[in-house]
Structures are given as C-alpha cells and as structure tokens.
C-alpha cells in the first residue's frame, strides 16, 4: 500500500457538463488529483444511468461525451484512474454479495428511492432499488475512504457505511466506512431565478461547450429589474447574475455593481455582454482541448481501456478476498 488515501467519485452518464458541474464538482476533483496525499479514481457511472428509463443509443454517446468533458476539464489519466463502471464487472459482482446483508425494506424507505418512484411511477425496477448497493460496491471495491459528491448523496453514503459494517460483522471482511468529501467548489446559481444550475431544469445552465453567442442568448433570459434600488436583491435573477459576476469577473467587480445598484443604476445589457465574454474566456481553453479530443477518438478509447485495466487490478484483489470470506473461495 502506498499510504495514500483513496478517493472515488462517479458521474452519471447523462449528458454534457455545465458550469455548475465544473465549479461545483470538477474543480474539487482536480484539486484532489493534484494533491499527492490522495490516489484518485474517477468513474463514469454508466450502469447507474440504466436504473431509470434511458435510450441505449444516447447512453453509448454520453459515456464518451462525459469522458471527453472530464479530460478537457483537466482530469489526467497519468494522475487519476479514469474508467467506465461497466468495464469493471467486479462492481456488479460485489453488489450481489452486498445484497445479502441489506433488507428490501431499508432500500424501499430511502428518500432518493422514493423520489425516483414519484418521478417514474411506471419504472420501479430492481435495478433502481439496487442503486445504492451498486454505489456502495463502486466505492468499496477500492476500499475508498473519501467520496467527493454533493450533499444529496449523503443517504447513499450512509448505506455504504452500513454495508461495510454489516459485511465486516457477518463475513469478517475489512471494509472502511467511506465519508463524503466536502469540496469547496462554488455554488453556481440557476439562470432562471431560484435554485442552482441544474441539467434537469431547462434554461438554467450554460454548458462548457457553449460558444459566445449561445452564452449571450442564455444570459439574455436571466430575469432582471429596473437596475436600481435601495437594497440589492438577495434572491432571484439579479442576485444570481451578481453571483456570476463575482465568479467570473471578480469579487471587486461584484461590489462595484452592488454600489451602482444603490446609486446610478446597473445597465444590464452591457453587464450581460461583459459577463458573457468573461465566461467565454474562461471556457476557451477547455473548448480548445475538447475539440482536439473529438478528433482523437483512439486516445479516448485508450484512456478508458487503460483506466479499466488499472481499476480491475485493484477491484479483483478485493473481490478475491471477499469470495474467500463469503464461502466461495
């Protein structure tokens, strides 16, 4: 063992990354990758995509799109193990052994499960019920201790810890209890008023591949007001616009805008133009790398192939031990 702490995170293969993913999650993943105290594994959770209704052709495309987005954003196969979940069959094997220590009732009562049942009442499958067990297997196949994910994933991590404890008690394995790793990435607000930038809220996001005119169009939809008043709004379109100004044009500029709001007023058209350019400038290096990758599919294939080979070596070792402990070895 290298003495490094292992980090694993998974990203569902649902589509292109947006600014919220980038600042909220990817930057945190990059900082862990660049920190020598950690060994990082980053996985495309393509099997998890199959737990709710999906289109096989879209999945085939999205797996690669997500990998290219991550590579262009700076994930580096020399420093992180980058792989697709379905290329490491040990995950599903381990999930089966884990299923022997989890009750059906426990899974049915999870808030994340109930949400999905509401969302897709006609597609309540065993795959969906098993979602958290597979996620626990993703993490514990590598005995990863740290999992950089959003707070919405906490119930799933709780399940992973329960499974680790139960496996250790029942079979004498030595799984660690993984913890969520809080990444300090910025909170990126939605373009349409309330909440955060989200793939599932149309009109709320800017994707990392948007060109300048698309960014302009998207910012044009942010609702604004007359531009001046005694108090700068704390919620809604103007507040969100100012958060974006802070993120992409600097906190000084944001304070200047706030002062303007309280005095002569903000001219939103000009501000939105400037902000569009600032965002586009930040995205340009990403887009250049992304274009190169699009033209080099063999490289993308090789990253996934080599990543899965490295991942499998670690996961196979865990699985061989577990097989012995559960009476199969």
Q: Which of positions 30-69 make contact with ligand TRP (CB under 6 A)?
A: 45, 48
Residues 6+ apart with CB under 8 A from 34: 79
Closest CA to 41 of 54, 32, 53, 51: 32
81 binds ligand TRP (CB under 6 A): no
Q: Phi/psi of residue 180, each to 5°? A: -75, 135
DSSP string, 163-193: HHHHHHHHH-------EE----PPP-B-TTS
With CB under 6 A as the contact rule, the residue among 21, 40, 153, 308 that binds ligand TRP is 153
Closest CA to 110 of 173, 51, 165, 56: 51
12/27 with CB nearer ligand TRP: 12
197 binds ligand TRP (CB under 6 A): no
DSSP string, 44-70: EEHHHHTTS---HHHHHHHHHHHHHHH
CB of 49 to ligand TRP, least distance (A): 9
Residues near ligand TRP (CB under 6 A), total: 13
108/269 with CB nearer ligand TRP: 108
Distances in whole angstroms, Cα of residue 118 to Cα of each of 12, 53, 129, 204: 20, 13, 13, 23
CB of 150 to ligand TRP, least distance (A): 7
126/270 with CB nearer ligand TRP: 126
10/237 with CB nearer ligand TRP: 10
9 binds ligand TRP (CB under 6 A): yes
Written in H, E and C, the secondary structure of 118-153 is HHCCCCCCHHHHCHHHHHHHHHHCCCCCEECCCHHH
308 binds ligand TRP (CB under 6 A): no
5 binds ligand TRP (CB under 6 A): no
Q: Contact letters (x/-) for ligand TRP, 120-149, by CB under 6 A?
A: ---------------x--xx-------x-x
- The contact set with ligand TRP (CB under 6 A) reads 8-10, 12, 45, 48, 135, 138-139, 147, 149, 153, 156
């Amino acid at each position: 063992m290298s003495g490094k702490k292992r980090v694993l995170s998974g990203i569902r293969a649902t589509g292109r990354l947006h600014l919220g993913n980038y600042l909220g999650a990817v930057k945190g993943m990059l900082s862990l990758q660049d920190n020598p105290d950690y060994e990082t594994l980053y996985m495309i959770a393509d099997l998890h995509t199959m737990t709710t209704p999906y289109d096989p052709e879209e999945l085939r495309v999205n797996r690669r799109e997500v990998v290219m987005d991550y590579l262009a954003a700076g994930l580096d196969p020399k420093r992180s193990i980058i792989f697709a979940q379905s290329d490491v069959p040990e995950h599903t094997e381990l999930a089966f052994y884990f299923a022997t220590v989890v009750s059906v009732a426990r899974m049915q009562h999870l808030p994340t499960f109930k949400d999905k049942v509401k969302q897709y009442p006609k597609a309540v499958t065993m795959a969906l019920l098993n979602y958290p067990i597979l996620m626990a297997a993703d993490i514990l196949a590598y005995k990863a201790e740290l999992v950089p994910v959003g707070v919405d994933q906490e119930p799933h991590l709780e399940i992973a810890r329960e499974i680790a404890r139960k496996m250790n008690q029942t079979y004498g394995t030595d799984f660690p209890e993984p913890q969520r790793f809080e990444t300090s990435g910025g909170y990126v607000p939605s373009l349409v008023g309330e909440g955060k930038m989200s793939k599932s809220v149309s009109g709320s996001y800017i994707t990392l591949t948007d060109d300048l005119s698309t960014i302009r169009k998207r910012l044009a939809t942010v609702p604004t007001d007359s531009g001046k008043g005694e108090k700068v709004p704390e919620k809604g379109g103007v507040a969100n616009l100012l958060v974006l100004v802070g993120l992409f044009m600097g906190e000084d500029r944001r304070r200047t805008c706030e002062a303007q709001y309280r005095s002569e007023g903000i001219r939103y058209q000009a501000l939105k133009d400037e902000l569009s350019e600032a965002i586009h400038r930040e995205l340009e290096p990403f887009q250049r790398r992304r274009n190169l990758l699009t033209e080099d599919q063999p490289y993308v294939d090789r990253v996934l192939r080599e990543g899965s080979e490295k991942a499998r070596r670690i996961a196979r070792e865990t699985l061989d031990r577990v097989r012995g402990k559960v009476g199969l070895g």
